[in-house]
Amino acid sequence: MMTHMPDMDTETTHTEPAVDEEASLFSTMDLLLFSVIVGFVVYWFMSRKKPEPIPEFKKLDTPTPTTRETSFIEKMKKTGKNIIVFYGSQTGTAEEFANRLSKDAQRYGMKGMVADPEEYSMGELSRLSEIKNSLAIFCMATYGEGDPTDNAQDFYDWLQENDDEDLSGLNYTVFGLGNKTYEHYNAMGKYVDKKLEELGATRIFDLGMGDDDGNLEEDFVSWREQFWPAVCEHFGVEASGDESSIRQYELKEHTDINMNKVYTGEIGRLKSFEVQKPPFDSKNPFLAPVTVNRKLNKAGDRHLMHLELDITGSKIRYESGDHVAVFPTNDSALVNKLGQILGVDLDVVISLNNLDEESNKKHPFPCPTTYRTALTHYLDISHPPRTNVLYELAQYASDPKDQENMRKMASSSPEGKALYQSWVLDASRNILAILEDMPSLRPPVDHLCELLPRLQARYYSIASSSKVHPNSIHICAVVVEYKTKTGRTNKGVATNWLKNKLVTDNGHKSTVPMYIRKSQFRLPFKSTNPVIMVGPGTGIAPFMGFIQERGWLKQQGKEVGETVLFFGCRHKNEDYIYQEELEGAEKNGVLTQLNVAFSRDQDHKVYVQHLLTKNKEHVWKLIHTDNAHIYICGDARNMAKDVQTAFYEIAEEVGGMTRTQAVDYVKKLMTKGRYSQDVWS
């Protein structure tokens, strides 16, 4: 999100002069003198031959603030580029793919640039034909319920509003990033592909669709391998055969630098964690002190936790159902091991500077900084690396067999794909594990830092209501920790970092860099509408906020409709989280019905969908007669689908519909905003 910062001089307050009674005491002489002076000043200004030269301060190093170029056409012309790759990215993957495609262009004698649609005027797409052999590639991720990502929202709006746009000179292709477990699979990629064609643009190659529930990397590599030959054929060009690694950034080591100029983990502005200035967003997070961090489950081998973040004085506003984004840091033990295995001093201050001086992206992460800060705050070192990272690093393996395997894993051959799947993905090998298991591979740390993706913010459904907790945001999460096939223990970055955020750490308050992401997951506008909430495990998070809000509405004397919850956990005596709060809400009538499925407390498994079916008559009455709103939160892969099927069955069994009618009925509820999902896979 771009935040407009006003110019300094516009902040000066201009007050109208008050009418002064003493003004009448001006003598005629005063007025005469005043008129003469004013007349002289006007004459002097009018009669000057040339303006006084403005002194130049050339020695000052401070760069003058330049107005950002919003014309990608002018930029492409100026820099001799003919391929532009736009990305709509929420977690960084689409941006990463866009970078890879732009880099590829070089191998085909073309020049590519990567562009964030939020930074440019997309109305210029019709002018791309002014550039010979030009092509626009769109890497578009779908977010939430078929929505565009934040940075592609304006582009999406522009496409919707400009039906009469003529894009007949535009060559394009689209690669969509989605997840099949979601209802609106790859909706954004499909929409952009279809809409550009409708506006007259020429599709150079078929829409590619990546499925993050399967193997997104493999989908992308397979599509890309077929895409470039199609481009070559269309433009009549040939691959240069140059498969060598192309560096995008050059390393500069700072031996004598003022440490006040060095980034220490800030996301945007230097020193923004020391001097906090609203508004707070993804480029300027707020450091919220942790006021509560408690374990929720009574027993069992998992760690479910409840945290409260203090937002007093931040001017941050949120609604029940919104998400809080937090910026975690990597485990220092992992960072230190990487430093040891590569034999580097992690505290050297460096900058990685873009070799393309015209690029908007000057550095891959905030620079200057140290390797330690980059590997702790800015780079993702815990996920299995993508194939392009293996391909680029292969040259540094001294054992030819290792080199061959790394290049094979990056190819689209069935053997290579299978090796990448088993050796990297199935074995959950992160970059450290790869270096440990491949002793001949010792890449330069700066090239590794150039290739690793950025560490992303993590989103959590807020577990509180701002009506009850205006200065506090609650998080409910489960700590991720598992054994891999290689016998290593992998830990979830954000949940383990949050777990260790003690309220006071050596006398200091623990803080969490955060901002709010608005969502469509909202309580009904009319408080009299009943609500049906389905959320097993940590999927209960937003419903804690909903329950608090419905309770607050009752206290205000408002009439509140039925509030029904279907919650599920493994064992009543282990992980029945928020038991006291939920039973208390039921006791005082805020929750009109509390249904809890304890999946493992009996021989046969009992889940939330079974309790829905058990209450089918009442559930159907609430939906069909009383206009209830349905909310589902939690696992997308199984739970959300099973719950949706349960609603189909209720519509069939109680509503007397066929399966086709039932599916259509639920679809209509979704369209009307009466069936909302906040799910993850």
Cβ-based neighbour number of residue 640 at 10 Å: 24
Query: Residue 90 annotated as binding?
Result: yes
- Could you give the residue ranges of the DSSP H alpha helices within 410-492? 414-419, 431-437, 445-451
Catalytic residue, chosen from 116, 322, 635, 678, is 678
Query: Residue 156 annotated as binding?
Result: no
Query: Residue 494 annotated as binding?
Result: yes
Query: Residue 277 annotated as binding?
Result: no
**CA proximity to 616, closest of 645, 656, 654, 667:** 654
H-run or E-run covering 47 = helix 28-47
Query: Residue 212 annotated as binding?
Result: yes
How far apart are the C-alpha atoms of 438 and 311, rounded to whole Å? 46
- Could you give the residue ranges of the DSSP H alpha helices within 248-331? none
Query: Residue 354 annotated as binding?
Result: no
* Residue 309, SS3 per DSSP: strand
Query: Residue 89 annotated as binding?
Result: yes
Between helix 639-653 and helix 659-671 the angle, nearest 10°, is 120
Strand partners, 397: 441
How far apart are the C-alpha atoms of 583 and 587, rounded to whole Å? 6
Is 633 labeled as catalytic in the residue annotation? yes
Cβ-based neighbour number of residue 467 at 10 Å: 17
CB 545 within 8 A of CB 535: no
Between helix 93-105 and helix 216-235 the angle, nearest 10°, is 30
Query: Residue 377 annotated as binding?
Result: no
Query: Residue 297 annotated as binding?
Result: no
How far apart are the C-alpha atoms of 270 and 261, rounded to whole Å? 7
Query: Residue 178 annotated as binding?
Result: yes
Query: Residue 183 annotated as binding?
Result: yes
How far apart are the C-alpha atoms of 599 and 300, rounded to whole Å? 14
Query: Residue 351 annotated as binding?
Result: no
Q: Give the angle subtended at the CA of 102 by the CAs of 97 and 104, to the nearest 5°.
A: 95
Q: Which amino acid is at 272?
A: S
Residue-by-residue DSSP string for 581-612: HHHHHHHTTSSSEEEEEETTSSSS---HHHHH
**CA proximity to 476, closest of 277, 296, 337, 302:** 296
- Which DSSP symbol is given to 321? T
Catalytic residue, chosen from 272, 461, 465, 510, is 461
Is 44 labeled as catalytic in the residue annotation? no
The span from the first CA to the last CA of the chain, in angstroms, equals 25
How far apart are the C-alpha atoms of 119 and 70, rounded to whole Å? 6
The first and second tokens of residue 641, run together, are 């689908």
How far apart are the C-alpha atoms of 334 and 123, rounded to whole Å? 46
**CA proximity to 345, closest of 370, 365, 367:** 370
How far apart are the C-alpha atoms of 523 and 551, rounded to whole Å? 13
Query: Residue 387 annotated as binding?
Result: no
Query: Residue 599 annotated as binding?
Result: yes
Query: Residue 272 annotated as binding?
Result: no
| Residues found in the chain | 681
Query: Residue 464 annotated as binding?
Result: no
CB 577 within 8 A of CB 535: no
H-run or E-run covering 28 = helix 28-47
Phi, psi for residue 648 in degrees, rounded to 5:
-60, -45
Phi, psi for residue 649 in degrees, rounded to 5:
-65, -40
* 107, 133, 660 from 110: Cα distances, Å: 7, 9, 50
CB 167 within 8 A of CB 129: no
Query: Residue 461 annotated as binding?
Result: yes
How far apart are the C-alpha atoms of 430 and 449, rounded to whole Å? 14
Q: Which amino acid is at 324?
A: V
How far apart are the C-alpha atoms of 562 and 618, rounded to whole Å? 11
Catalytic residue, chosen from 134, 423, 633, 635, is 633
Query: Residue 493 annotated as binding?
Result: yes
Query: Residue 185 annotated as binding?
Result: yes
Query: Residue 642 annotated as binding?
Result: yes
Query: Residue 28 annotated as binding?
Result: no
Backbone dihedral region for residue 186 (phi beyond 0: left; psi -120 to 50: alpha; all else: beta): left
Query: Residue 92 annotated as binding?
Result: yes
Which segments are annotated as binding site?
89-94, 141-144, 177-186, 212, 302, 458-461, 476-478, 482, 492-495, 538, 599-600, 605-609, 642, 680
Q: Would you name the residues annotated as active-site residues?
A: 461, 633, 678, 680
Which segments are annotated as binding site for FAD?
458-461, 476-478, 482, 492-495, 680
Which segments are annotated as binding site for FMN?
89-94, 141-144, 177-186, 212
Which segments are annotated as binding site for NADP(+)?
302, 538, 599-600, 605-609, 642
